[in-house]
Amino acid sequence: MSFFAPVPLAPRDPILGVTEAFNADPRPDKVNLGVGVYLDESGRIPVFASVKTVKKALATDLAPHSYLPIDGFAPYNAAVKELVFGPELAASGRVATVQGLGGTGGLRIAAGVLAGIAPSAKVLVSDPSWENHESLFSRAGFEVGHYPYYDPAGRRVDVEGMLACLRAAAPGTIILLHACCHNPTGYELAAGDWDAVVAACAEGGLVPFLDMAYQGFARSVAEDAEAVAKFAAAGLSFIVATSCSKTFGLYGERVGAVSFAAAEADEAARVLSQAKVVVRSIYSSPPSFGAKTVASVLATPALRADWEAELGSMRDRIKDMRAAFRTGLEQAGVPGDLSYITHQTGMFSYSGLTPEQMRRLRADFGVYGLESGRLCVAALNPGNLSRVTEAVAAVIRN
């Protein structure tokens, strides 16, 4: 009998598996609102003008392809650190930043480091959260639980429930938070709520771990990092995973990072040494193209300004699509208050549709979203909007 004979077939990934099913669908007018990828008016992933400029320059650079250091391209790590933490903390030496394979890779490096430091700690993720959070931390050996986050009846964040859960958590519990553009719900904590979360983490001796994959998609690059600034101002030790997939449109280049904000520089250096042990044992060192591209954009003032402006117009386009989607549903006679569509932030609308309705959306109309009801409104455009709106209205009506 083959060694592999007893291996069971794993289910498709709840997000990337939707893209697999979408790609296999022969219908020409199908629409993929599953994965969190920004598409422009014509339904394509845009290449930022700033990224194009750097790509052209890199294409003429015939330097040898040596290994990057284990922790990645130093100018990239420095630029990301400043983007996430601001210049003062970035210069303090208290933060160790490691290049990762996308935001997921950053999360995984940190999970490996945490498994070495605190293997019996429990990880709490929001209910609901990005599907991969739970799987990533469980496979790193952690027991994963949930804190209340979304209140479906009130279509709001259950701040009271969340805080009560955090206040009851054992010291050392790792709390996975979404710094902005909560995935999948799009509901954010208000500034005062963040203060209360920071206080609960400080008082309870919890380990805050912020996932910030969408910096710049809610308000602005600086404003979306305000939660990070609050944890830093409270003097806490915490972790931040970041991604350049959406913010630079570099999805396939797998460029992200994880940063460890420690109490002082020597501590940060020791944590960095542990992160390098984790990286070396998984993939040795990261690829260079995406990191060099991002570093160059961020280090060149004109390109950086251009990048922020382009990110701003993407944000505005998503807001326009939210408004048009909401109006379309209202005009199609969908009952109830649909203001949640324009109230949510980031790439997703948490529609409240049931798994059964989402399956019908896919089977009957070729509109693909997640079973959780999450729809990527960043993939809406004038060409597919009415089709999506009619399909969603139809599944809601019957």
Positions that interact with ligand LMR (CB under 6 A):
15, 35-36, 104, 130, 132, 183, 213
Catalytic-role residue among 81, 230, 246, 276: 246
Query: Cβ closer to ligand LMR: 15 or 68?
Result: 15
Closest separation in Å from C-beta 79 to ligand LMR: 22
Q: Can you read off the two tokens belonging to residue 382?
A: 């004038």
Nearer to ligand LMR, 50 or 183 (CB): 183
Distance CA 136, CA 106 (A): 11
d(CA 154, CA 147) in angstroms, rounded, equals 17
Reply yes or no on whether 130 is catalytic.
Answer: yes
255 burial level (CB within 10 Å; 0-12, 13-18, 19+): buried
**Euclidean distance between CA atoms 143 and 51, whole angstroms:** 40
Active site residue 307: no
- The full length of the chain comes to 398
Q: Catalytic residue among 71, 81, 130, 307, which?
A: 130
Q: Write down the least CB distance from residue 371 to ligand LMR, Å.
A: 13
Which residue number, 38 or 276, has a Cβ lying nearer to ligand LMR? 38
DSSP assignment of 93-116 equals S-EEEEEESHHHHHHHHHHHHHHH
Determine the residue with CB nearest ligand LMR. 36
Determine whether 246 is an active site residue.
Answer: yes
Provide the minimum distance between the beta carbon of 277 and ligand LMR in the complex, in angstroms, as a whole number.
Answer: 25
Q: Which of the residues 211, 230, 276, 292 is marked catalytic?
A: 211
Q: Which residue is it, tokens 């052209």?
A: 56
* CB nearer to ligand LMR: pick between 18 and 169: 18
DSSP 334-379: --S--THHHHS-TTEEE----HHHHHHHHHHH-EE--TTSEEEGGG
CB of 214 to ligand LMR, least distance (A): 9
Catalytic annotation, residues: 130, 211, 246
